[in-house]
Amino acid sequence: MPTVEADPGPFSFAPESTALLVIDMQRDFLLPGGFGESLGNDVAQLRCTIEPLTALLAAGRAAGLKIIHTREGHLPDLSDCPPAKLRRGPMIGKEGPFGRILIRGEYGHDIIDELRPEAGEPVVDKPGKGAFYATDLSKILDNDGIKSLIVTGVTTEVCVHTTVREANDRGYECLVIKDCVGSYFPEFQRVGLRMIAAQGGIFGWVADSPAVIAALQ
């Protein structure tokens, strides 16, 4: 069984029951001139994940891991967006440089070209921060007998954390890949990763992508 040097200890996984989860690598969050940047965020903090994640995806595909992508966003009429979310995110649904912000079907809502899903890879659309809430993710994982998740994407302290916490409570073992998750805030990146592996791995494990790629070969 492949084993990865990780924090707080070795992470072993069976490739046939492991999925590589790529969270919200969407143009709205990552493209210069997009929604994320318009909020005053430095998208370079997220864009540094693209290269290692491209390599990890290639290794995951070659090893036969199930690959699952997610996108945060809403129906065009915003009927799936809680008023409380809209009050604190009034730009959701507004016209932005890449179409209506975080609206399904818009250019900005889709995944960046570098990480385009391949045919047959599920793309889970989610209205919340967590990938389990109001989605079919549990069913997709159950149908394939998935027990372990290798977690990547953005942002570390928001959608990655929420999803890892949801997954942990559902019994999945989560390995978060530190160079393949990104935050607009370096401090949150550092502390967010520490929080996952603290207390003996309270939410999971943390490793870097070269260690995972080596274990997959």
Q: In whole angstroms, how close is the CB of 108 to ligand TIU at the nearest point?
A: 13
Q: In whole angstroms, how close is the CB of 64 to ligand TIU at the nearest point?
A: 27
Q: Which of 48, 33, 60, 56 is nearest to 189 (CA)?
A: 48
Give the integer Cα–Cα distance in Å for 31 and 171: 34
The reply on whether position 158 binds ligand TIU by CB under 6 A is yes
Q: How many C-beta neighbours within 10 Å does residue 146 have?
A: 21
Which residue out of 66, 81, 159, 178 is catalytically annotated? 159
Site for ligand TIU in 79-138 (CB under 6 A): 129
* Binding residue count for ligand TIU, defined by CB under 6 A: 7
Which residue out of 110, 125, 126, 178 is catalytically annotated? 126
Residue 101 has, within 13 A of its CA and on its CB side, a CA count of 21
Task: Name the segment binding ligand TIU (CB under 6 A); options: 49-57, 59-67, 153-161, 169-177.
Answer: 153-161
Q: How many C-beta neighbours within 10 Å does residue 85 have?
A: 17
For residue 151, list its beta bridge partners: 21, 176
Pick from 4, 11, 24, 182 the residue near ligand TIU by CB under 6 A: 24
Judged by CB, which is closer to ligand TIU: 25, or 57?
Answer: 25
The reply on whether position 22 binds ligand TIU by CB under 6 A is no
Q: Are 49 and 180 in contact (CB under 8 A)?
A: yes
Judged by CB, which is closer to ligand TIU: 22, or 67?
Answer: 22
What phi, psi does 29 have (nearest 5°)? -90, -30
Active-site residue, 159 included = yes
Contacts of range 190-198, beta carbons closer than 8 Å, 24 or more positions apart:
191/157, 192/156, 192/157, 192/160, 192/161, 193/156, 195/161, 196/161, 196/164, 197/6, 197/7, 197/8, 198/8
Q: In whole angstroms, how close is the CB of 158 to ligand TIU at the nearest point?
A: 3
Active-site residue, 24 included = yes
Give the integer Cα–Cα distance in Å for 68 and 23: 8
Judged by CB, which is closer to ligand TIU: 24, or 106?
Answer: 24
The reply on whether position 159 binds ligand TIU by CB under 6 A is yes
Residues of the shown chain interacting with ligand TIU in the complex, contacts defined by CB under 6 A: 24, 72, 129, 154-155, 158-159
**Residues annotated catalytic, as ranges:** 24, 126, 159
